[in-house]
Structure 1
Amino acid sequence: MTITFVVNQVRKESPGYTTTALAFEAHRRGHTVYYVGIGDLVYLSDGYVGAHCRKVPDREFRSLHTFLEAVIGVEKQLVSSAEWHVMWLRNDPAVDMEKRPWAQDAGVLFGQLASKQGVLVLNNPDGLVRASNKIYLQYFPESVRPQTIVTRNMADVEAFYQAQKHRIILKPLKGSGGKNVFLLDKKEEKNRKQIVEAICRDGFVIAQEYLPAAKNGDTRLFLMEGQPLMKEGKVAAIHRVQQAGEIRSNIHQGGQAKRATMNKEMKTIVETIGPLLREDGMFLVGLDIVGDKLMEINVFSPGGLIHASEFHHVDFMEEVITAVEQKVANLTGNP
């Protein structure tokens, strides 16, 4: 199997990223693995998608650090998607929104072409178009999501703030990693206009009801094919706890990861949205859950799977790559 991982920029990848661990596991199994930055993608004169790829060297690696170091040091080579079985879109469009706006949609656009040419593209690029920002959550049943408005109008935010008894969360419609997420309450009331204006510089603002359970952090739960990712009876999930005085539990914002298990509220959420995610071709996603509510669905490059593996003493990457192998076998007729 030949699998091509598409990331924002190869040189900015980290050994701690889930993408690195997935690529490492695929290489360990003897598959041909390529790394591609968004800017490396090409549409070739013969009608195929291609890319200036970094091929993982054909040798063993003792750690994720040495693995990624070797990948970054490899010279690029132009490779046609006619040689790929899998194109895995692990880039985060929100990261490129400010400095590289041309790169935001490129992965999905090239992915759509590759998919029509017979390449297995993960997650499904047509589904990713629908899920390209946080409004995707509003397609799912109201019972599992917090009360929300999406607007650029200050009066709308004011009315929602009053209706929610002066305590709401504000964040950008397009964003990731906890960037520009604010708690608006009476303490911050005097700054509310500036906060909304700051978020609206990059587009729409999401205002959500504040969930008291959020003071205890959130849970990142991984779903594969619409079901909880499991290995040896253990579920791929982490509990993320924010620092003192901080509302954001994202690891990139200083949140601390802890072991997590699945409760009945999470099971209800999965039963409600799992089939819909599967219909949209969302092979691997990360759900951010607070209490009995789904706060976000991370469809591009959900992180934290290394933490989950360490806490549960199993390698969830093995399960994921096994599932990819099976999908390719089903497509090629070679089970």
Structure 2
Amino acid sequence: MSLTVAVQMDPIAHINIAGDSTFALMLAAQARGHRLFHYTAEDLNYSDGRVWAKADPVTVQRVVGDHYSFGDPVSLDLGDEADVILMRQDPPFDLGYITATHLLERIAHKTLVVNDPASVRNAPEKVFVLDYPQFMPPTLVTRSLDEARAFLAKHGEIVVKPLHGNGGKAIFKVGSDGANLSALIEVFNTMWREPHMVQAFLPAVAKGDKRIVLVDGEVAGAINRLPGEGEIRSNLAVGGSAVATELTAKECEICAVLGPELKKRGLLFVGIDVIGGEWLTEINVTSPTGIVAIETFDGTDVAGMIWDAIERKVAA
């Protein structure tokens, strides 16, 4: 089966091919004989029921500095000429991102979009996770300094982060003395109109923040991400390091509960984050990462598993 695959992503020239999950998916697709096209969300167009993009035919290779080659650009009808769309641009999950999901939703009955655009729109990372409070650390969503102070008084140490942030950016720990909490909430309220997420600090983060990848609702693999020296953030994008890992009984329980719902929503490639083997903090559906590190540490071909699932759905 040869598929036409349109990859909606950030500019390919700027990615780090050593660990980029989208690049790994493109390499795997190409190896299977699928035809690849690259475009950015800004290239989307709509008229008279059609959604199309100015797209570049692309071939990829794992060569630093020479990792892609474009053909002549075409106007690609995403409803009639593409079999699969990989929606892989990074957040921020802003109105541009949301608009892209609305446009792609209009052709999702004809072209398989991974992940399903309506489900992505309705399941932002730090909001979707609120559906599973039984697995979460104590959590507050607020813009109120008074509420944040009361939460701090109850839990001793807290973490404050943007509700729609990504990649470990703008995550702050506040100690029991509350130093700078008022200034931090002031800055957050100035920068973002939405509420912010405040959580009890989990000392277990020093032992890692596990990324577990699920493919069509089933566990595909996991890595444990360790924070760098002097950091509480373990995201690889901000200096964390990855090590091999296995799932705890609690993590298996979390995956068993989440899996059927992810599958039902058409969220085929998902990465969840779990701290201390028991605390679910995020459900990443917009542009999950981690598959290259998982393959490095345990040899699991997660990209291949994703394409197996995609090919099954296209053929169904």
Same fold (TM over 0.5): yes
- Corresponding residue of 1:108: 101
Find the aligned partners of 1:246 and 1:216 in 2 and give their Cα distance. Answer: 12
Alignment deviations for residues 124-164 of structure 1 (CA, whole Å, 9 cap, x no partner): 11111211351111112x22111111111111101111111
1:88 to 82, 86, 89: 86
How many residues matched? Answer: 309
| Cα distance change of structure 1 residues 274 and 240 upon mapping to structure 2, 3 Å threshold | same
C-alpha displacement of 1:67: 6.9
Rounded to whole Å, the distance in 2 between the matches of 1:181 and 1:41 is 32
- TM-aligned CA deviation for residue 260 of structure 1: 1.6
Provide the rounded CA distance (Å) in 1 between the counterparts of 2:306 and 2:144: 42
Contact in 2 for aligned 1:144/1:269 (Cα 8 Å): yes
For structure 1, the 5+ residue unaligned runs are 230-235, 331-335
Question: Which of residues 76, 80, 87 in structure 2 aligns to 1:79?
Answer: 76
Say which SS state the counterpart of residue 275 (structure 1) adopts: helix
Q: Which residue of 2 aligns with 1:6?
A: 8
In 1, the alpha carbon distance for the partners of 2:232 and 2:122 equals: 28
Whole-Å separation in 2 of the counterparts to 1:283 and 1:247: 30
SS in 1 for 2:287: coil
How do 1:213-252 residues align onto structure 2 when only pairs under 5 Å count? Answer: 213-229=204-220, 236-252=221-237
Q: How does 1:61-80 map to 2 (within 5 A)?
A: 63=62, 65=64, 68-71=67-70, 74-80=71-77
1:15-61 CA-partner distances (Å, limit 9, x unpaired): 1310001011101111111111111111144x21111111124xxx6
| CA distances 1:82-127 after superposition (whole Å, capped 9, x unpaired) | 1111111111231xx6xxx5523232122211214x1111111111
Whether the 8 Å CA contact 1:93–1:105 is kept in 2: the answer is no
- Could you say which residue in structure 2 is the equivalent of 1:233? none
The correspondence for 1:52, drawn from 45, 51, 54, is 54
CA distance in 2, matches of 1:316, 1:66: 25
What is the CA–CA distance in structure 2 between the aligned matches of 1:169 and 1:219, rounded to whole Å? 18
Could you tell me which runs of 5 or more consecutive residues in structure 2 were left unpaired when the two chains were aligned. none
Following superposition, the deviation at residue 62 of structure 1 comes to 5.1
Scaled by the length of structure 2, what TM-score is found? 0.92
Superposed CA RMSD: 1.8
Counterpart of 1:232 in structure 2 is: none
- Amino acid of the residue matched to residue 54 of structure 2? H
Distance 2:227 2:73 in 1: 40
What's the offset of the Cα at 1:266? 1.0
State the percentage of identical aligned residues.
29
The answer to whether the 8 A contact 2:215-2:270 is kept is yes
The corresponding residue for 1:35 is 38
- From 241, 244, 256, give the equivalent of 1:259: 244
